[in-house]
Structure 1
Amino acid sequence: MQEDFRLIVDLVTVLAAAAAGGLVAALCRQPALLGYILGGMVVGPAGLKLIKELIQIETLAQFGVAFLLFALGVEFSFTELKKVQKIALGGGGLQIALTILVTVVVCGVTGAWGTLPAKGVFLGAILSLSSTAVVLKCLMERNETATPHAQVMLGILVVQDLALGLMLAVLPALDKPPEAIGKAIALALLQIGLFAAGAVAVGIWLIPPLLRLLAKTESRELFLLGVVALCLGIALLTEYMGLSIEMGAFVAGLMISEVEYADQTLTYVEPLRDVFAALFFAAIGMLIDPVFLWENLELILGLVCLVFVGKFLIVTPIVRAFGYPLKTALIVGLGLAQIGEFSFVLASEGQALGLVSRRIYLLILGTTAVTLVLTPFVLRLVPKLLELPWLKSFLDTADAPLEVACDLPLQNHVVVCGYGRVGRNLVKLLQEHKYPVVVIDQSESKIQQMREAGVSYVYGNGASLHVLEAAGVGKATGMAIAMPDPMATRLCLKRALELAPELDIVVRANHNKDIELLYQLGAREVVQPEFEASLELASHLLAGNGLPSWTIQKEMQQIRNSHYLALRPERSPSEIARDLEVAAAQMNSKWYPLPPGSPLIGMTLEETDLRRLTGVSLVAIRRSGGEEIDYPDIQTTLEEGDRLLVVGESNEQAAFDQLAKGKVAIPSENAPCQWLLVPEDSPVAGKTLSQLHMRRQYGVQVQAIRRDGKFIRFPGGDTQLLVSDQLLLCGGSYPLNQVQEWLSPPSEDSRVVEVPVIQVPVNEAFQELLTSDNQQEL
């Protein structure tokens, strides 16, 4: 077969294998990149041996990483890079140095590889690198590239990629005198400095006019060709200078990120990125020899465990030392615990220089490959691990505020979570109208900005109950959540409503698909910036064409009230269900089969009032006939045989289980509910509910107790009331007023937490249940 045609056949074979593997992975609900690697293993030299031109395929596969890093640079931008420059430069450099140092010490103590420290340095360099491509792909698939932990990981990975050039320059001098090593390091640093200076100059004076010239042609093909040529040209230049192709591609993306055509560039390049990225991961699969892995399975698994544990123990304390929350540090530590694909390059060079034998080279290759395959699983398991009760309790305790401003308003203030561009503008507008504001953020640079601007702040994780309590969420008049992390946004919303169930919360949706979920979790209003920009542009144009302002306002408000349905792209029910499953999996969720004969059967969600009574949010219903209702509205009726997807903490789910099984009841028809505070010197403080006989004496029930940021759902008769407890009491309006007077001594003025009266209808099953003997005697 002709040589050029052979390459085409190999390329088609690899892409077909990657597509088949990706399909299998998708059907198994696994990350697609695992399927790409599996496809490469099947058709590679160690599998069916269908690929003959492996070197050419590997060369083309380099385009995949180049386009991945280029797209990342376009999205990341210099502004985003500055946010994590301390942890990237300081933490990234420290992580590499510590990994090499620990490896040298371990090799010296154990006598591995003889007595030459050069071999320890070489192995440490290999272990210090993590996988930019795999981590980035996993973060993209989970829409987490804007999260704090993702930015920290990507910042450290950028420094590692820069260090690769330095390592390749020093490698040949490792077994030479110290002067030679110093000279190699100085030369490499000079090259990096010259490249950085040239990149800044090109990014300022050459890139913007070039892109504008390409855009003026109004030709998609010319624009794409120009951008690709620019990306690969800079990447080849860095390769020629002894740095990595990937580093050059990332810098090229950073140059374009500051130009007005960045979004257009990203849209054009994304299809190329996805195709060549699949080719890259398939090429990694072709390097894996399953036979060698099987023959040395115990040794390789032992090395994999050492690598994961060792890097985790190095990275996590470093991230924590730079002031990031423990949860962020744990995610970053686990996310960077693998060996990177660029280690293949170092290992290959080391074998050529005689630093490692063929067997050691294959062990490094096998260990690296296994860590790359395991990384997507690890990143998917991390959210579930962090929800384990003992670990969650520890993290909640460790997530205390790092610093609280001394002038915090105590009540009737507005809480703003996130001090980015949106949060900063919101704070400015609120302050202009003399509203007291408290801002929550976990970025040291933003906290410093607030110190200088005199803004009241709480330095910590906005998704932490302790931080929300410190910000006085329970006594606030309103709250705005404008955080970049979708997961943190959901947790912040849910936990704020645990502290203040009636709080008016407006949330910025990071993605279109988050809108309905945020409403379902209890947001009063959800704002999507892109849709709001469209509405404002349309309003201006319609007004300019003579449409009355009241008509425009009415139409725009209708679109907002419909949750932007008129603007959102059509999505199939299966797509919506899949996104909902992914989002719910990141929180504490569970599919719950409604028990036969449950009192909830036949009731609407408005009648059950699940969020107030139990704390759970019901986000999906699967009917016995197979129909699925995602994001059900308040008029949706529960039916026998339903399976309910509920989101909530373990104690909230336990309360929901009690309610669904009829062990406790919700308030009867027309019964209002009210939160009341147990003040100091209250006659009920220190007594149990069974001693107080509230239900017998006043006809009211204690449905929940909020204590120190925690909820006690449906408390039993032996539950003791404490000062500062907030009680959710349900009963008649007159009995509630009596209980209010009883709880508060006459000298105390109103420390009662008022909430709107809820009318909760109830069906015959509940009427019967309310009079049955299985009611708790409170």
Structure 2
Amino acid sequence: MAHLPHLIVDLAIILGAAAITTLLFKWLKQPLVLGYILAGVLVGPKFSLFPTISDPNTIRIWADIGVIVLLFSLGLEFNIKKLVKIGGTAAMTGVYEILAMIFLGYLTGLCLGWSTMDSIFLGGIVSISSTTIIIRAFEELGVKTQKFAGNVFGILVIEDIVAVLLLVLLSTLAISKQFFSPDMLFAIMRLAFFLVIWFLAGIFLVPSILRSSRKFITDETLLIIALALCLLMVVIATSVGFSPALGAFIMGSILAGTPYAERIEHLLTSIKDLFGAVFFVSVGMLIEPAKLVEFGGPIALITLVVIVGKAVNVTLGALVVGQPLKQSLQTGMSLAQIGEFSFIIATLGLNLKVTSDFLYAIAVAVSALTAFTTPYMIRASGPLYNWLDRKLSPRTKMFLSSYSSGAQTIGSVSDWYQLLREHIQIMIVNTVVILGIILMTSRLLLPLLHEQLTGASWAEPLAGFLSFVLMAPFLWALALKRINQPVYTRLWTERRSYRGPLVTLAVTRGLIGLGLVLLLLQQFFPVSIILFFIVVAVGIWLVFGKRLPLIYHLIEKRFLLNLNARQIHQEARMGRNLLPWDAHLSYFEVTAESPGVGFTLAELALREKYGVNVISIARGSLTVLVPSASERFYPGDKIAVIGTDQQLEQFNKLIEPAPASHLRVTPAQEISLQKIAVDESFPFAGMTIRESRVREKTQGLIVGIERKGTRILNPDSTTFFHPGDVIWLAGNTKLIKEFQRENRLRNVQ
């Protein structure tokens, strides 16, 4: 009989055990991740009743590949535009909750008598919620279209990003053994620099390469290209001292902005499931059942800290940033668990040999317990809110309502803020690009020239001149590009006191450019020929200087084209913009079996029967904004609808007769719901909706007006705008923002 390699035998044992346990957990309606962990315990070296794997080291390599694939697939869900548009509410809530839980976990570890490093890693472990468990719970409970779900998904995005950064910072901390040390500060700065460089270069190059070879891309070649790019980024990240997980996540985020993102996700599903199963089984293999009994007390305490700490901190964070009490409480109760990232952080501590063995087993046990409690916590959020609503005084409820409404109102952005933000953006981006060019030519090109031109004394000057040629367009943009000239001119002419800060901005840009040129000189040129270089560089600048703006604008145009390549994302932004009277924006896909298919909007009478408004219909590459009453629903249409949770639940029966847990949602990147205050910057006060032409200018629909504590839903076109009104406007996000900017400029003039 032929001898089988140990790897095949071990995989047979692992996947066989995983198959049995996952079927069991599927039948019990529990997360499959817990089934994989149980399979790992059963086939691990600490449990002798079942066959045990013979080569744990090989399985560990497969598990490392599993982490890379998991992080790559996670990055595919978070392209740059999605990260930017998450919104301040979710971002601030997520950051506050993470910092609070890290501190709370650290204090818990110290109270248990653990070492400082164990306590720090415990803080990281309890700070990150489980995306897998939450999505599964939302599907089972049928709450994915409810208002608070949008906040939950936004916070999960922030948590996942911070978790990837935590892996880097904890690795640095484990090596330096110091808080706030120069090594830690340098690691943060280096991480920020490489992140910007990788994202800028990746967004500029990767979509362009895919676009140029689109005629030859099939499912097979696309999968190979995606995995090759992922592993290439892993190698690059590892070579500069970062974790492989960070490189995989970054390449996933870059590819998420391409039109191929959904195809890559689909093709990667089976591979992700396979390697993910191996990873989670390997997690279970490291668990010692005896330690779970020995540390039963700490497990119970940390489980309580996770459930109570996350629920309270997320709720407080959401309230502070202006969310209503009900949505804040629902969001906090939904995030009260830990999951897959906690395993990865615990594994990092073991691999670096800086944490105790028991911490890993405790992390897995707490994750399992909080996974079981998650559905019950979500269900309990409604009754808990009703109880609080009865206990709170009318004055407190009025204060929370006023605070929430005021915090969500769109206000005017000052000219100074706008101009300063654009200057900082230009300075940071171009400085990083120039530093990246100098780093690339000094670390890659210069050694190659030395190798090819042995003994040549002009290798450094040649590399320096090539660097200058490459960086010249970005140097022009950094030091000389005119930024938002209308605003700059208006500030310059309005008051003399504005001129000093404006001159300071210009001088600062020039000094940064000069500093980068001096860095280039110091890097490549000896003192004896620096003057000669300056003369030649000035000559090149005089000859080609007029073409630099054109070159830069071409580069910028290509970058923006790649950044916006993917027009429709695969995940819904449920409840992205929130209304205080429980209405929100949600997305549906019309199926061939939908009862409403083939009927016009007038025939369906959606407002009259359901109280909802259809904001857009996406049909293939065509999107119809604010469709007319004669527009019909066809199979495959993706529609954006505004309504309350109850209205949308009723409307869902018209679109998809299946239960709400099977609802299919689809994103519409350019559609959003915005609040506009009728203040001194609003020029249409006293006019009717029809006279203001707000609908035509924004391709939007006014779905509500708040006026002196009352709410006018679906106002008629003859309704007047009064000072103090708050308008709820749904439509094209870009046009709404332009409308706001034009109003502010018109008011100033």
TM-score class, shorter? 0.5 to 0.7
Name which of 525, 532, 541 aligns with 2:619: 532
- Quote the Cα distance in structure 1 between the aligned partners of 2:244 and 2:139: 21
- Quote the Cα distance in structure 2 between the aligned partners of 1:382 and 1:97: 22
Q: Deviations over 1:38-88 (max 9, x none)?
A: 333333333424322333323323444433433333333222211336467
Name which of 353, 364, 375 aligns with 1:369: 364
- 2:81 alignment partner in structure 1: 79
Q: 1:514 to 1:138 in 2, by over 3 A?
A: farther
The question of whether the paired residues in 2 share the 8 Å contact of 1:149 and 1:329 is answered with: no
- 2:5 alignment partner in structure 1: 5
- 1:30 alignment partner in structure 2: 30
Structure 1 residue 135: Cα displacement: 5.2
Q: Deviations over 1:629-653 (max 9, x none)?
A: x959xxxxxxxxxxx99xxxxxxxx
Could you tell me which runs of 5 or more consecutive residues in structure 2 were left unpaired when the two chains were aligned.
416-570, 598-603, 639-643, 661-709, 711-749
- 1:426 alignment partner in structure 2: none
Q: 1:311 to 1:488 in 2, by over 3 A?
A: closer
- 2:57 alignment partner in structure 1: 55
- Quote the Cα distance in structure 2 between the aligned partners of 1:517 and 1:40: 48
Structure index of larger Rg: 1
Of structures 1 and 2, the one scoring higher in RCO (CA 8 A, sep 6+) is: 2
Structure 1 counterpart of 2:185, which letter? A
Structure 1 residue 157: Cα displacement: 2.5
Matched, 1:168 2:156: no
Structure 1 residue 104: Cα displacement: 5.0
- Quote the Cα distance in structure 2 between the aligned partners of 1:404 and 1:80: 25
- 2:243 alignment partner in structure 1: 244
- Quote the Cα distance in structure 1 between the aligned partners of 2:295 and 2:200: 51
Structure 1 residue 159: Cα displacement: 1.4
How many residues align structurally? 483
Q: 1:240 to 1:391 in 2, by over 3 A?
A: farther
- 1:310 alignment partner in structure 2: 309
The question of whether the paired residues in 2 share the 8 Å contact of 1:92 and 1:159 is answered with: no
- Quote the Cα distance in structure 2 between the aligned partners of 1:492 and 1:93: 23
- 1:218 alignment partner in structure 2: 217
Structure 2 counterpart of 1:33, which letter? V
- Quote the Cα distance in structure 2 between the aligned partners of 1:514 and 1:24: 33
The question of whether the paired residues in 2 share the 8 Å contact of 1:506 and 1:526 is answered with: no
State the percentage of identical aligned residues. Answer: 27
- 2:300 alignment partner in structure 1: 301
The question of whether the paired residues in 1 share the 8 Å contact of 2:302 and 2:366 is answered with: no
- 2:191 alignment partner in structure 1: 192
Which residues of 2 match residues 674-685 of structure 1 at below 5 A?
Answer: none
- Quote the Cα distance in structure 2 between the aligned partners of 1:527 and 1:282: 46
The question of whether the paired residues in 2 share the 8 Å contact of 1:165 and 1:242 is answered with: no
Structure 2 counterpart of 1:169, which letter? T
Structure 2 counterpart of 1:153, which letter? L
Matched, 1:385 2:380: yes
Matched, 1:18 2:18: yes
- 1:711 alignment partner in structure 2: none
Q: 1:341 to 1:219 in 2, by over 3 A?
A: closer
Structure 1 residue 514: Cα displacement: 11
The question of whether the paired residues in 2 share the 8 Å contact of 1:36 and 1:282 is answered with: yes
Structure 1 residue 220: Cα displacement: 2.1
Q: 1:82 to 1:271 in 2, by over 3 A?
A: same
- Quote the Cα distance in structure 2 between the aligned partners of 1:50 and 1:72: 31
Please provide the CA RMSD for this pair: 5.3
Name which of 587, 605, 610 aligns with 1:523: 610
Structure 1 residue 316: Cα displacement: 3.4
Counterpart of 2:181 in 1: which secondary structure?
Answer: helix
Name which of 144, 150, 154 aligns with 1:151: 154
Counterpart of 1:147 in 2: which secondary structure?
Answer: helix
- Quote the Cα distance in structure 2 between the aligned partners of 1:307 and 1:285: 21
- Quote the Cα distance in structure 2 between the aligned partners of 1:55 and 1:221: 31
Q: 1:106 to 1:392 in 2, by over 3 A?
A: closer
Relative to structure 2, which stretch is displaced further, 375-384 or 124-133? 124-133
> TM-score, normalised to structure 2's length?
0.53
Structure 2 counterpart of 1:69, which letter? L
Q: 1:448 to 1:56 in 2, by over 3 A?
A: farther
- Quote the Cα distance in structure 2 between the aligned partners of 1:200 and 1:506: 30
Structure 1 counterpart of 2:72, which letter? F
- 1:42 alignment partner in structure 2: 42
- Quote the Cα distance in structure 2 between the aligned partners of 1:165 and 1:246: 9
- Quote the Cα distance in structure 2 between the aligned partners of 1:371 and 1:242: 31
- Quote the Cα distance in structure 2 between the aligned partners of 1:515 and 1:271: 30
Q: 1:536 to 1:192 in 2, by over 3 A?
A: closer
> TM-score, normalised to structure 1's length?
0.51
Structure 1 residue 373: Cα displacement: 1.9
The question of whether the paired residues in 1 share the 8 Å contact of 2:595 and 2:657 is answered with: yes
Structure 1 counterpart of 2:27, which letter? L
- Quote the Cα distance in structure 2 between the aligned partners of 1:303 and 1:536: 49
- Quote the Cα distance in structure 2 between the aligned partners of 1:63 and 1:26: 25
The question of whether the paired residues in 1 share the 8 Å contact of 2:330 and 2:382 is answered with: no
Q: 1:74 to 1:157 in 2, by over 3 A?
A: closer
Could you tell me which runs of 5 or more consecutive residues in structure 1 were left unpaired when the two chains were aligned.
406-441, 453-483, 497-504, 538-552, 570-585, 589-610, 621-629, 633-643, 646-723, 725-778
Q: Deviations over 1:85-141 (max 9, x none)?
A: 646765555445444444555566x4824xx75664454344444456655776788
Structure 1 residue 389: Cα displacement: 6.6
Counterpart of 1:230 in 2: which secondary structure?
Answer: helix
